[in-house]
Chain A
Amino acid sequence: MNVDLPLPEPYKYGFTTSIETLRAEKGLGEGTVRFIASQRKEPDWILDMRLKAFELWQSMTPPQWSKLDFAPIDFQASSYYAAPKTQKTPQSLDEVDPELLRTYEKLGIPLREQERLSGITSEIAVDAVFDSVSVATTYKKALAEKGILFCPLSEAIEKYPDLVRRYMGSVVPAEDNFYAALNMAVFTDGSFVYIPKGVRCPMELSTYFRINAESTGQFERTLIVADDDSSVSYLEGCTAPKRDEHQLHAAVVELVAMDRAHIKYATVQNWYPGDKEGRGGIYNFVTKRGLCAGQGAHISWTQVETGSAITWKYPSCVLKGDDSQGDFYSVAIVGNHQQADTGTKMIHLGKNTRSTIMAKSVSAGRAQATYRGLVKMTKTAKGARNKTQCDSLLIGDQCGAHTVPYIEQQQQNGHIEHEATTSKVSEEQLFYCRQRGLSEEEAMTLIVGGFCRDVMRKLPLEFAVEAQKLIGISLEGSVG
């Protein structure tokens, strides 16, 4: 195909907000850990957790098993804390720095609470995290009326220490892996959610992560606990400015679902992916895990990964409660020099536990996409079932797609199904679409959209349209 395409302008969130920032000096040592804790005015038990994790981290080495190719990260080269200087904890939206409000407006994130019009506007509660701190959380009051806690983790540590003490680190302990240990040592604001017994959260909850400061990593930690018979749907979004340097994002997300509780966790990850030559972009090393602690609990991960130079991420489910269920629906779209090694772990412990994995990858340019997934059924997981479907779509002939399934079956009557396909966008498909009037890029977006459809349908409606657009943007410049 030899068509002249306009120069792609693929990343529209690459701007920087100019705001006075208080930040930790570059480098990572015990002093850094103490600095972060003191900035956040944390109690000693949190500082103890941090220091223990830091000590542990120093004895660990980065994991080498992924199919990711990059120079070793210099952990002393970045700063581990950055917060807008004007930011005291705002008591209401009126107190939020207007520059920050403008930033979120530009990103298309609603920080104003809508007038309540039943059935007309769908409400979304937002926790906005800017570098290391939460700068605004909406609908807190409306949610509190139902007993739902939705706030930055720092506020939860102060106000609900018992819940935090009980659950933080219970699903992803510091010793889990290198990046989880790093996160525990230097974690900053993510969101905290608690849904009480029998409550269905009346609106979508979401956290919007923005990296702004230069040479700074983001290390948020998010904790969601859904008590018996409750349900919640949660979405996170992420963007960052365009820069030539790589910035590190090493987050931890923990979910706990009690008896018959249902947590839907969706991610639209759009960190800056780097430029055409592979300069810059976020290094995204994230540990996400959900524990189906109770009988009949259900945790569902949906992710649309279009950003980051490197993605290392395996949102997983530990199916401990009998009859509990875990789902993983994923689309990873990589172009230029992006690399994604992503997948899931489904650990079946309880009886009659079920898991579904649907992982799709689209690779273009010189990008590499790897699905890596573990399905494990222990002796206690009688009657467990898993179904895995991995599909890869290739655009052009310089990219790659890889599927690496691991299966550990200790259960005689468990049932595991694995299917995988690889296909290419064909010239005939593109021509057919163009003959009907679509441009080459519209055709590509349509074909890739169709390929991803089964996963996109799992996204909350409000975000499905946005995610669909993102596919188009991610693919700009990938034809020709």
Chain B
Amino acid sequence: MLKIENLHAGSEGHEILKGLSLTVPLGQVHALMGPNGAGKSTLSYVLAGHPSYQVTQGKIEWQGKDLLALAPEARAAAGVFLAFQYPVEIAGVTVMNFLNTALNAQRRARGEKPLDVISMAKFLRQRAQSMQLDEAILKRPLNVGFSGGEKKRNEVLQMAVLEPSLCVLDETDSGLDIDALRIVADGVNAMRSKDRAMLIITHYQRLLDYIRPDHVHVLQKGRIIRTGDASLVAELEEKGYGDMHAP
């Protein structure tokens, strides 16, 4: 279970999250919606441990562990995955090399044996196919020259490869055309499981037409102001964030 309590966090002395509380149990998919500047991406960075963000108050527990005490790579090994809104480019490092290094680093951190080259290549190819990605993408340098859609599909591919237990998707729908959106949603839906918690951060309801969330939270000015079931999505779409008030 992910348990966030009274979280205050920000960057460069500027407080963005102002007492956010949120719980996502294993086996559930939660959507976090909100207008620009509400603090959605800040939450995703804080969860992943970005060094530019500081937590001033509150706590985050994941599976009973104090997440804030862990380095980013230890959080990854504990099952935390962030699909980035803006995936970075790394020249000269192929997707295959990157995933091989990442997966084996996590396996080592968990005390598991690293996968050998052949099993790894087979596994990665199979996952790429399931994301309807041309295998050739594995041999391209990470995100270099990728289209917006390819970058996002590559994020979900990485999620499928690393098999995290907490998936945080930060505006994964932005910049996707309708076909890519469906492929990404299929990838995410395929990973729904009783052993996994998912937090889908989005500005629009579009993605949620394909991924039905169990719960929806509305974030505004650094706090959750409403929580409801999937029907809240339609209400938001109709009324906009401006009319949204705490009940």
Q: Which residues of A contact B (CB under 8 A)?
A: 1-3, 426-429, 431-440, 442, 446-447, 449-454
Contact = CB atoms under 8 A, between A and B. Distances in A.
Residue from A432, A440, A450 having most chain B Cβ neighbours under 10 A: A432
B90 interface: yes
B51 A427 contact: yes
B151 to A, nearest CB: 12
B76 A446 contact: no
Q: Which of B84, B97, B105, B106 has the most CB of A within 10 A?
A: B105
Interface in B54-78: 71-73, 75-77
Contact of B92 (A1, A438, A440, A453): A453
A437 B102 contact: yes
A446 B98 contact: yes
B52 interface: yes
Contact of B162 (A2, A426, A436): A436
Given A431-B48, A446-B98, A450-B92, 16 more contacts: A1-B51, A426-B88, A427-B51, A432-B84, A434-B49, A434-B76, A435-B81, A435-B82, A437-B162, A439-B105, A442-B101, A442-B105, A447-B93, A449-B92, A450-B93, A451-B92
Contacts of A453: 92-93
A422 to B, nearest CB: 13
Contacts of A442: 101, 105
Contact of B73 (A427, A438, A450): A438
Which 10 A-B residue pairings sit nearest by Cβ, starting from the closest? A450-B92, A450-B93, A436-B102, A453-B92, A437-B106, A437-B76, A434-B72, A437-B105, A432-B88, A434-B73
Contacts of B88: 426, 428-429, 432
B65 to A, nearest CB: 16
B109 interface: yes
Contacts of B75: 435
Given A431-B50, A442-B105, A446-B98, A437 B73 contact: yes
Interface residues of B, number: 32
B92 A439 contact: no
Contacts of A440: 73
A297 to B, nearest CB: 31
A318 B209 CA distance: 67
B82 A3 contact: no
B148 interface: no
17 contacts: A2-B51, A427-B51, A431-B50, A431-B51, A434-B72, A434-B73, A435-B75, A435-B76, A436-B76, A436-B106, A437-B106, A442-B101, A449-B92, A450-B90, A451-B91, A451-B92, A452-B92
Contact of B90 (A2, A3, A429, A454): A429
B87 interface: yes
Nearest to A442: B105
B91 A438 contact: no
Nearest to B51: A1
Nearest to A1: B51
Nearest to B75: A435
B158 interface: yes
B48 A435 contact: yes
A439 B77 CA distance: 11
B35 interface: no
